[in-house]
Each structure stands twice: as structure tokens, then as C-alpha cells.
Amino acid sequence: MRPTAIRSLPEELPAPSEFLNPPPGYGPVPFWFWNARMEEAEVRRQVREMAEKGCSGAFLHARHGLQTPYLSPEWFSLVRAAVEEAAECGFQIWLYDEDNWPSGTAGGAVTAGHPEYRARYLQLSDALAEQSSVTLSPEGEFLGAWAIPVDPEGEASGDAVPLSPGDDGRIHFDPPDGRWRVCVFTVGDGGYVDLLNPEATERFLHLTHDRYAEAVGEHFGRCVPGIFMDEATLISIWDVRDPRALPWSPRLPREFQVRCGYDLREHLPALVAAVPGAARVRCDYFSTLGALYAEGFLKPVQAWCAAHGIASTGHLLCEEPLAPQVRHQANAPLAYRCFDIPGVDNLTVRTGGLHHRLAASIAHQSHRARVLSETFGAAGWGTTLAQRKASADWQLAQGINLFVPHAVYYTVYGKRKRENPPSEFEQEPFWPHYGRFSEYLARLSFLLTRGKHAARIAVLYPLRSAWAHYHVGYQTPTGEEARVSFACYGSSDALLLARLESDLAALCTLLQELHFDFDFIDEAGLAEARIEQSRLCLGPERYELLILPSMTTCARSTWARIREFFDEGGNILSCGLLPFQTGMGEEEDQQLRREVQELTTLDPTAPDRPGGSTARAMGREAMRPLNVNREHGSRFARYLPWRVPDPGQRSLLMKTLLRSLVTLDVDIDCPDLVCYQRDTADGKLFFLVNTADEERRVTATFYALGRPEEWDPETGEVRRVWQYARAGEKVTLPLHFAPRQARVLSFSGTEDLHVERANFVVTRVTETDEHYLVEGHARDYARPMETPPNCSLAWEGGSRWAEGIDRGLLEPITLGEVWDLRVLGDNYLVLPDWWFHIPQPGEDPQILAEYHDYWEPLLPREPITWFPKLEPLELHPPDEVWLQTRFRLDAVPSSLSLLLEPLDVPYTVLVNGQEVALIQTGVLDPRFLTADIADVAREGINVVAMRYSCKGVRLDPPDNLHRITGDLVPEPARLLGSFTAMPEDDEGEFLLYAGFPDQIVTGTWVDQGFPHFSGVLEYSQPVTIKADYFDYRLMLAWENAAEIVDVLVNGRPVGVRPWPPNAVDISEHAFAGTNLITLRVTNTAVNALLGQPRPSGILGAVRIEPYARCEVKVPKD
């Protein structure tokens, strides 16, 4: 059975109705963190809530803080409940294969009782010996020791000399003349699992996957479409903290001998120093690691999934090119091929990196329809929907089309709120608007899987070069250090690897800024590719140009394939260092250098130093190919962008060169726009993203036949693009992008009536018996049109120009800064953190009714990181703990409650000495507790006290796999109710006033009595609009608001803006006279959850902007 998640899609553009309401499976599929004592009723409720907000499914993720035993009968009973509920509401439950991460351990059960399955690593201890002797004591299984001669810069200057342990088991070395580096290699024991061992993998699959199949296997391939592998790695960064350690396995020496023909243990110095022959050893080492990793873990997991009818997906640890990827994955392209749905990790809301495109390239070349991104994790509680959308848009332009937001938290009580937030759930006040975000992602993910990706360029992935120069403890240099000039042959590994990384990143950035879409192709892909009609064909992709980035190492078989492509008419462009070694021995290296020089006419070992050449000279050099295939006209060209100091000139030369080497698809003179293209059976599809924080107006040229249409992912509409000019296959049209806006254009069908030129925005063309009516509006409300509205209407066989009436300008209507206010919900205030006291025997608990500032303050809570630790009070929990905090009231409000979070021990709460009852109400979080305290509060100082016992309670020390082992220290208390809070002093204390104000002014609401408010405030004011304004398009616009604005006019909903553009059209909702303008503003959870007064509300001017309506009647005769 082929997993439903990876079935191929139709090649045609979808029907507009399908775009409006995409089929199931394309909305976000968040991680769903099971991170507490799970309850069936709440599990079922959360499934329904996610489904209601447009999530297609969720990955059921055991997470830090989980109190339900993992993989227990209770666990699987809850899993079945989730799946049953999902099946009822059209939701999907995707599985997650681990208790936290990295995958492969089954929560530690794989290695429990099986130490042979534990990971091993190669560890190095070394010392510099110059004039005095050196003694080193091996720790762990001894593999070998060597002394390596080094030059004054620390580089190896000769062969390594083997050393033997003395009778005492230690390594002694008395150096002869010169400087020597003594290296001792041993095997270290890790806590992670050996992923090179197929027996360990078999046990993992039995303990985890087989049990899920028993529990919910009847739903596999339908309601349970796949399973997620997380952060698999050859060496775990949480387990092995030594940055110089390298992957190892008991299987490695034997397999290496079989595959490579020599004993790796006799050549270990090559892995850490540039001794003679180092490149070959390193290439063999990482190649063998990658193969064993795939054979021992990745492929068996994929095979299990295929046999059970579900998709294998997930992402890898340290997948960013190049150095981290080499150490942790060895061969990332091979690893990505072992997933039905390859995926990446996009931490926070960043827009950058090359791993998205690498994973997408593998998918493009192997008919995989979906590419996954785990995204938004650790972005923080203040992250907005607008930031999420901007990140998602950029990722879509890299080929991502399955989004896994990190994450829906079952609960965030206690330490959980500090464990890689934010939450994509009810804790966020914008959750009611999340469905809009889900629809947006679903429409784009669906649309951008239609047809096939269309890239003209393949960039050879320089993995073998990275293998050859991987340097233990390597860190990417920054700034000028990364751009240092050096002779490429014989340079240090660290500098060469830095050069490879920085050149690759710069090249890919330049291609993207110039709107030349591309894929990576690795050496295995190049070997598999077909050469047809001067194209390099791999899967459905057909590349016209192969770009060689900076590379030092290339197998001769790969270079032969490059030569074959050139000889068959393919264009090749070198944009960096040329390869001078194979990683297969000196004889092969010499032959490669001859072959490279034969094709390029250049000596690949010659120094690459920027000379005195001018940009103009560099341009001539680029346009003059190194070699020309006279039969086919193909060229081998070279362009070194870093030799051109001026960025504008550098881009212009590259653009000119690329236009001569590949067929052009799109031409836009704006580096802030990113373009992703797909070809369908009936046309072309272009996805364009403005990555700038400012608007962009461009004239874009597309090389496509057919009628242009715009697909709006926010509304689901498909609209005619009326204004464009065609010259053959070239279509030119104006485009306006709001900050961080994305737009989708398609070209298909047959052309008919359209506007070739216009000095206004054309929105519609209609036809009468006598004329065509061209309608639209002015481009700018603040500047007069230089001429009356006019346009040139074109149809098959002719065109006609006409002019309309200039309506002139009207002044915008600026709304006042004072607004009527309505608070939709309760206000919040996070109280000062607790002070604690360890009571002595016989101490009177009556002191809990009064505030005592001589008690000890609790320390600020620690974020939950890779290095978790207990809070100080949790290290040795006292038998009893008393705590206090306070607040001050000007008057008691009509509504006042105390909001607390659970602890793992029972506790009693008193307000002004009176015990109060706590109930679970779901305010802010499903597990939070509230107590009505309006009857016990008083004017002036109020004391909140807590007492609880930890007698007999001890928490396990947290570790990376279990970062939260309990909560014995309370989180700060909160108040909620009908009050405002104004600062009383510089110490952060607030005075609370009863009731809400009737008005609020433009500017952050945190300074107007709502410092910790997370929710919705409603701003309203009457505005008079004169009758003559209704000949104009009226846009209600705001300069700045935090964060989401829901607009109502005269009580009727107009539109919600979760992200730019910050404007809505109110023309059809307003009338001449006095209108009530209402803005409901929603912020994020950071204010109420963390007590951080993040600016919120209407933060800038609001105005009604009148855009002149334009009408031009074009006679038919």
C-alpha cells in the first residue's frame, strides 16, 4: 500500500472551488505536546478544537513534563481515544516515534539491559610537545596514539608517527627537534543509541512502531497517515558535549575494511590533522558512516512504514550545511532519500538557511509531493501570526509545503511555559483567528504541490569537499575571517571549509535575489541523472545549467559526468574554487587535475587571489567562456562574484551571464522578492514573496503563455489580472507588495480582452453594446495623477486608447487619538514573585495573614534548556514551605479572581488570612486554577499566602530526555478581573483601580492600566464622512497596531488583518454622515503569561484614505 500522504497529485491547476476549500491534509499539522497527566476527555476536546481551527491533524508528541507513563497501557488507551475522536471530525493523528528526542531510544528502553546498543564515539586527547616530554593517559577503549609533526601555525607538516603505550598504560613521548602534536584516540561510551546497528533499530521498531500498529493499526494510511522521526543523529549533542568527538560504532572498523579496503584504525590521525592522504581517509570515513546510517536505521524505519501503509517523515539533527551536517549526518542527501516526506527544522520564525532547499531538491528529483518543516519552535511567547506567516511564506518559496507548527501544548503550567514556546493553541489570545492562518497555509500548500517544480539550474552540492576538509571542533568563521584570501592548494582545512560554506551561501543568495530558481544536486544524483536534449534530467526536473560552487574535492566519475554533460550540449558555470583532489588517492588526484585543466583551461591548484582587475574586466572575463562546445554551442564559464567589490555590479554581471546560459522565466529588478515556480499541464505558476519590511512596487516580466490570474490565499479567490502587456511569450505587468506579502500568479488558458497600459490600478473590465468600461482606482491617495485616468485596451487583432475624467484628490480623514473603550474579558496582572519562608517547629501560621518583607525572595525561574536543572528549593525540598506576595487596591473591583498554576503537591491558598477555594476554569490554560476573591479583598494592601508540604517528595534530576521532572516551586500568581493597574513606584508595584475606563488614547495600552493584559480591547469612535467621499475607494488604514485588528463599521464586520497590509476597504460599509468605526485589537500571550509589558493596541495614526475611482469608457468602434 502506498502511503496516502505521498501520492502524486494531478498535473493541472486546481479548480477555483478546490483552492477555496482544499482537500484534507494541507492545513498545518502541529506538534501536540502531551506534557502532563493526560485525561481522555481533555484529549478529545483538544482534537475537536484543533480541527475547528483548520488544522489538518497533529503529531502526537510525548514531551517534557509528561506524567502518563510513556508506551504504557494507559498511554495507548489515550492514543486510541485521540484517533477515534479524530476519525469522527475529519482530523488526522500523526505519530511521533520517541519520548522527546532524538529518535531511536524508545524512551531509553532500547539500551536498557542492552549496553551493546549504546552509541560510541571517537574521542581525542592531545598535547603539544616542543622541547619537553609529554605523557597522556588514555581513557576508554584505546585505539591508537600518534605524534604528528606540525609547523608554527599548527598545521601537520609530515607523516604521523605511531606510538605505543608504556607498561603503565600511558603514552610517553620525548620529542626530537621541532614541534609535535601527540594525539591519543579512544572510544567513549554515550547514552544515545548506535544507529549504525540494525539490531538496535529492530528493537526500537519492536518497542515503538509495532505497539502503535497493535493499538491503532486499523487506522494506518487514513486517520493515521505517518510517523515522525526527530533529530536522529550519528552523534548526539546532548549526550556528547566534546565538540571534537566524532561518530563511532563497533561495526565501523569491520565495515570500513570491507568497503574501503584498509584499516581505519591505522589512519585515525587523518581525521584530525592534514597529514598526507587525509582527504581520502576522511571521504571514506564519512561515506561509510552515511551508508551504514542509512542501512542500519533510516532505511529499516522507512521499510517498516511502507510495509504498514504509512509515510515516514521527520527531520535530522544539525542539518544545516555544511560542517554541522557532515559531523551529524555524514551524507544528508542520502538521509533525505530515506524519508517518504523529507523534512527540516526551522527554529523560531527565521528566514534563511540552505537545508530547506536541499530537502526540497531531493523531493523534487524523486517525485515526492510533500516537504515538511517543523517550525516556530523557541520563537517565544511574543511571536505574532504576522511573523509566523512571513516565515512560512519564505519557506514555501524554498519548496516547503507541509507545516508542523511547534506546538500545541496540552498545558503550559509550571515549567512547561518556558520549554521552547510559543504555543499554537488556546493560551494565545489570537487562537480564535488561527483558522485564517490555517486556511492560508492550506491553500498555498495545496496549490504549490500541483504540477512539478520548474528550475533551470542545478547547483552541485559540495558534500565531498566538506568531507575532505571537516575539521574537529570547527566553527564557521565570521566577518573578514571568512573571506580571507589564500592559496587554495595546501591551505588549512578550517579556512577551506569556511570558504566552501561562505561561497555556497553567497552563491545561493545571489541566485535567489536574481530570481533564478534552482535545486541542489549531489554527486549521487548527478550519477543517476539522464542527459536529454542538452538537459540534465533527474526525476521530473530538467536542468539547463549546472553550477559548480567552490569545491576542492570531486570524484573522477563525477567530473566525467560533468564533462559528459558539457559534451552533450549542457552549460556549466563555475562560481568558485575548482576541484584539485578526489579523496581517492594521489594518482587519482593527478588525473583529476589534468581533466579539470583540459575542460577549463585553468590550473585548479593555482592561487585564487583577488587582483587589480576592475569590475568591467571581471565582466568581460565572465562573458568570455573558458571552453565552448562547437557542436552544440554549450559553454563552460567561470565567474567569481567576490572579485567584484560593488554589490550592484556583482549582481548585474551575474544576471547578464545567467541570461545567456539559461531560458528566462521571470525578470524582476528587486532583490527582496523571492520566486518559486511550478509548471502544470495547463500553464505556469509563480509564487512571489516580498521579504522586506517595506512595501515594494515592481514591474515584473514573466515568460509564459496564457491569461494571467491571481490566486489569493487569504480569501481563496481566483481573480483575472486585467492589466498586462504581451510581446510574444513575454508578459509584463505591474505588481504591488505590502510588507512581507506573498502573491501567486498563474498563466494558462487563452488570452482575450485585457488592458495593455493604464495609469491607475485596473480592477474590472465590463462590456456593453457601445463600449468597454475599464474600472479601477488611483495608485496613490496622496498624490495627484499626472494625467486624467487613461488606458489602452487590447484584444485579438487590435487595441484602442481612451481617457476618463480626473476626480482629483480628497484629503484623508485622520481619526482622533481618543477612543471609546470596551474590554472584552478580564484584565490581568502578574503579581510580584513570591517570598518564601521555611517555618520552624511550632511557628504560628497566623503570620501568613500579614506581609513580611524579611522573607527570602524566590530566584527568577530558569528557562528549560539543553542543560536543565531543578530550582533551588527543589534540590532538597523542605517539609513545609510558606510563601507570600501582595497587591494594593484603591478600591475593591466588582470582579476579582486569583489565578494560580498547579503544583505536584497539594497546597492551601489564603487571601488576607482567609482560605480560598481553587477551581479549574481553563482561564489562560486548561490546567490553571482560579479563586473568586472579591469578598475577601480589601482596600490597601492585600496579602496572598500559600503553604504546602514536600515531606517525602523528591524529584528526579532532570536530563536532556526529561527536562521537567516535576513542579515544586509555584509560578508567580496573577489577578484577573475588572480593574486597571497603574505603576505605583519604580520597583514594579502597581496600584489597582476598580472598573475599566470609558476611553483610551492611541498608544500602547500597557501604559494605560493594562500592562499585563493579553486579550482583546475594542476601540471605537464616530467619524463623519461627507457624501463626496463616496466617489472614492475608502480604505481604513492604520500605521501600526499590535497585533491583530478586527474592523467593524456601524457594527458590521468588515475584515480582520492578522498581518500586512494594514488596511481594509470600508466603501461598501460606510455611508454619508456619522459612522461608528470599531477596531478590536488582539495581542499575544506574553503579557499575561510572563508579565512582560509588550506594547499592544493601536500604536499609530488611523485614517480613512480616499483613492480616486477611475472609469474609462473605450468605444468599440
Which CATH number fits the domain that encloses residue 77? 3.20.20
CB burial of residue 119 (10 Å; 0-12, 13-18, 19+) = buried
Least confident of 122-126, 399-403, 411-415, 864-868: 864-868
C-beta of residue 733 within 8 angstroms of C-beta of residue 699: yes
Q: How many angstroms separate the CA atoms of 76 and 219, rounded?
A: 14
Q: Say if residue 957 is in the same domain as residue 1008.
A: no
Closest CA to 972 of 910, 885, 912, 914: 885
- Looking at residue 53, what DSSP letter applies? T
Instruction: Enter the C-alpha cell of residue 692.
Output: 522586506
**Tens digit of each residue's pLDDT (9 = 90 or more) over 299-311:** 999 999 999 999 9
Among candidate residues 1013, 1011, 1078, 1026, the one with its CA nearest the CA of residue 1051: 1078
| Closest C-alpha among 550, 548, 552, 549 to residue 582 | 552
State pLDDT tens for residues 951-961.
Answer: 999 999 999 88
Span 384-390, average pLDDT: 99
- Other C-beta atoms closer than 10 Å to the C-beta of 633 total 10
CA distances from 675 to 362, 671, 678, 1048 (A): 19, 10, 10, 35
Quick check: bond before 102 cis, omega within 30? yes
Q: Does 763 score more than 60 pLDDT?
A: yes
C-alpha distances out from residue 691 to 346, 392, 956, Å: 16, 11, 46
Q: How confident is the model at residue 10 (pLDDT cuts 50, 70, 90)?
A: low
Question: Could you tell me if 643 and 535 lie in one domain?
Answer: yes
Q: What is the mean pLDDT of residues 634-654?
A: 86
Query: What does the pLDDT average to over 4-8?
Result: 54
Q: Are residues 634 and 698 in the same domain?
A: no
617 within a domain of the structure (yes/no): yes
Is pLDDT of 815 > 70?
A: yes
pLDDT at 487: 30
Tens-place pLDDT, residues 555-604:
999 999 999 999 999 999 999 999 999 999 999 999 999 999 999 999 99
Q: What is the pLDDT of residue 309?
A: 98
pLDDT grade for 852, boundaries at 50, 70 and 90: confident
Tell me what pLDDT residue 6 has. 55
- How many CB atoms neighbour CB 532 within 10 A? 10
Total domain count, the chain: 5
Give the whole-angstrom CA distance, residue 337 versus residue 359: 9
User: Residue 76's Cα: distance from chain center in Å?
Assistant: 31
Q: Could you report the per-residue pLDDT of 429-442, keeping only the tens digit for each?
A: 999 999 999 999 99
pLDDT at 623 over 70: no
Strands (E) in 647-706, as ranges, are: 666-667, 673-680, 683-690, 696-703
Same domain, 443 and 464: no
- Under the banding of pLDDT at 50, 70 and 90, the label for residue 473 is low
Residues 380 and 415 in one domain: yes
List the grid coordinates of 637: 564559464
CATH code where residue 786 lies: 2.60.40
- Residue 683 domain-assigned (yes or no): yes
Closest Cα partner for 353 from 508, 539, 173?
A: 508
Q: How far is CA 107 from the centre of its chain?
A: 26
Asked, for residue 989, whether it belongs to a domain, the answer is no
Summarised one tens digit per residue, pLDDT across range 869-927 is 999 999 999 999 999 999 999 999 999 999 999 999 999 999 999 999 999 999 999 99
The average pLDDT across 761-770 equals 93
* Beta strand pairing call for 1041-1042 and 1097-1098: antiparallel
Per residue in 319-372, pLDDT (tens digit) is 998 999 999 999 999 999 999 999 999 999 999 999 999 999 999 999 999 999
* CB burial readout 69-92, b (16+ within 10 A) else e: ebbeeebeebbebbbebbbeeebb
Alpha-carbon gap, residue 373 to 346, rounded angstroms? 6
DSSP three-state, residue 947: strand
Tell me: cis bond preceding 322? Omega within 30 of 0 counts.
yes
Asked, for residue 927, whether it belongs to a domain, the answer is yes
**pLDDT at site 474:** 52
Is 1009 a domain residue? yes
Q: How many CA atoms lie within 13 A of 483 on its CB side?
A: 10
**Across 660-678, average pLDDT:** 97
Domain enclosing residue 401, as ranges = 4-100+341-451
Kindly report the backbone phi and psi dihedral angles of residue 67, in degrees, each rounded to the nearest multiple of 5, phi listed first: -115, -15
Contact 535, 544 (CB under 8 A): yes
Question: Using one digit for the tens of pLDDT, what is the confidence trace for 474-531?
Answer: 554 444 333 333 233 334 888 889 999 999 999 999 999 999 999 999 999 999 999 9
Q: Does 735 map to a domain?
A: yes
* Domain stops at, among 405, 427, 451: 451
Q: Is a pLDDT exceeding 60 seen at residue 621? A: no
More confident site: 493 or 315: 315
pLDDT at residue 612 greater than cutoff 50: no
What is the C-alpha separation between 466 and 133, in angstroms, rounded? 35
Label residues 167-197 b or e (16+ Cβ within 10 Å = b): eeeebebebeeebbbbbbbbbbebbbbbbbb
From CA 406, how far away is CA 869, in angstroms rounded?
23
**Residue 349, all three cell numbers:** 520564525
* Domain containing residue 899: CATH number: 2.60.120
Same domain, 946 and 1011: no
Q: Indicate the pLDDT class of residue 624, thresholds 50, 70 and 90.
A: low
State the cell numbers at 678: 511550478
Largest Cα separation within the chain, whole Å, is 108
Coil/strand/helix, residue 937: coil
Query: What is the average pLDDT across 703-707?
Result: 96
What integer pLDDT is reported at residue 471 of this predicted model? Answer: 82
From the CB of residue 835, how many other CB atoms can be counted at a distance below 10 Å?
18
Give me 561's grid cell. Answer: 559526468
3-state secondary structure 777-788: ECCCCCCCCCCC
Shared domain for 695 and 655, answered yes or no, is: no
Backbone dihedral angles phi then psi of residue 1024, each to the nearest 5 degrees:
-95, 130
Do 426 and 508 lie in a common domain?
no
Domain boundary among 640, 663, 686: 663
510 lies in the same domain as 632: yes
Q: How far apart are CA 690 and CA 696, in angstroms?
A: 7
Average pLDDT of the residues of the chain: 94
| Predicted local confidence at residue 563, as pLDDT | 97
**What are the E-state strand segments in 613-658?**
627-628, 635-638
Rounded to the nearest 10 degrees, what angle do helices 493-513 and 647-661 cross at? Answer: 70
d(CA 332, CA 919): 51
Residue 424 lies in a domain: yes
Q: Are 335 and 306 contacting, i.e. CB atoms less than 8 angstroms apart?
A: no
Number of other CB atoms surrounding residue 530 within 10 Å: 10
Residues in the chain: 1117
Residues 464 and 446 reside in one and the same domain: no
Radius of gyration of the chain (CA): 33
Alpha carbon distance 104, 312 (integer Å): 14
Q: What is the pLDDT of residue 479?
A: 42
Q: Considering 451, 469, 494, which residue would you say is the last residue of a domain?
A: 451
Question: Is 286 part of a structural domain of the chain?
Answer: no
pLDDT digits 0-9 by tens, 150-208: 988 888 889 999 999 999 999 999 999 889 999 999 999 999 999 999 999 999 999 99
Task: Look up residue 393 and give its DSSP letter.
Answer: H
Quick one: 94 and 61 in the same domain? yes
The confidence score (pLDDT) of residue 8 equals 59
Give the whole-angstrom CA distance, residue 403 versus residue 396.
9
The CATH number linked to 1078 is 2.60.120.260
The single-letter code of the amino acid at 666 is V
Pairing, β 761-767 against β 771-777? antiparallel
Nearest-10 crossing angle of helices 647-661, 615-623: 10
State mean pLDDT over 288-292. 99
Residue 1117 pLDDT greater than 70, yes or no: yes
Q: Tally DSSP H helices, then E strands, for the chain.
A: 22, 65
Please give the grid coordinates belonging to residue 116: 551493546
Q: Average pLDDT for residues 1079-1087, to the nearest whole number? A: 99
Cell of 803: 481617457
Q: Are residues 659 and 709 in the same domain?
A: no
Annotate 975-1020 with three-state secondary structure: EEECEEEEECCCCCCEEEEECCCCEEECCCHHHCCCCCCCCEEEEE
